[in-house]
Amino acid sequence: METPICNTDLALEEKLNELDPLRHLRNDEQLDSEAILPAQAPSVQNQTIELTFNSSASGAHDPLTIKLAIDASPGCGGVAWPAGEVLSRYIARRGSLSGKTILELGSGTGLVGLVAGMLGAHVWITDQAFVVYPPSGHPLDQG
């Protein structure tokens, strides 16, 4: 018979899930053969990158340039994923999004939503609190 989980254990589990939503998919000593995500130390911490996208938006002669804060230490949300760059290039080439409303769920760095906003869309960018509100001391927090 399994031991029931008490409320404090459940609260701890939920707090740990909030800090690292993918933790159950990482290597575990007991489930080593069943792990989905390999253990990997954060490769990028507290840095900024600048990405440029050519746009065919009417009147846009200059490319769109975005400066992103990236930090993989809290999880996968603080990284500029290649798929986000591909989608950003695609929508930039398509041109103006004026009059459109965009909701980006789990946006991480917010790259796609920021590009959509620069193309004239009204954008809502969402993610977990630790991704949306980075710790102080981050390069972009400095102004």
Per-residue confidence (pLDDT) for residue 135, from 0 to 100: 56
| Fold annotation for 47-142 | Rossmann fold (3.40.50)
- pLDDT category, 26, cuts 50, 70, 90? low
Per-residue confidence (pLDDT) for residue 11, from 0 to 100: 83
Encode pLDDT of 90-134 as tens digits: 999 998 999 999 998 887 788 999 999 999 999 998 876 655 555
- pLDDT category, 139, cuts 50, 70, 90? very low
Per-residue confidence (pLDDT) for residue 81, from 0 to 100: 81
Encode pLDDT of 79-90 as tens digits: 778 888 899 999
Close Cβ partners of 77 (under 8 Å, ≥ 6 residues apart): 106, 108, 109, 127, 128, 130, 131
Per-residue confidence (pLDDT) for residue 71, from 0 to 100: 77
**How buried is 60 (Cβ within 10 angstroms: 0-12 exposed, 13-18 middle, 19+ buried)?**
middle
Measured CA to CA, the distance from residue 128 to residue 143 in angstroms comes to 22
Measured CA to CA, the distance from residue 109 to residue 69 in angstroms comes to 7
Query: Where in the chain do CATH 3.40.50.150 domains reside?
Result: 47-142
Per-residue confidence (pLDDT) for residue 140, from 0 to 100: 47
Q: Out of 8-17, 67-76, 88-97, pick the least confident.
A: 67-76
Q: State yes or no: pLDDT of 31 exceeds 70.
A: no
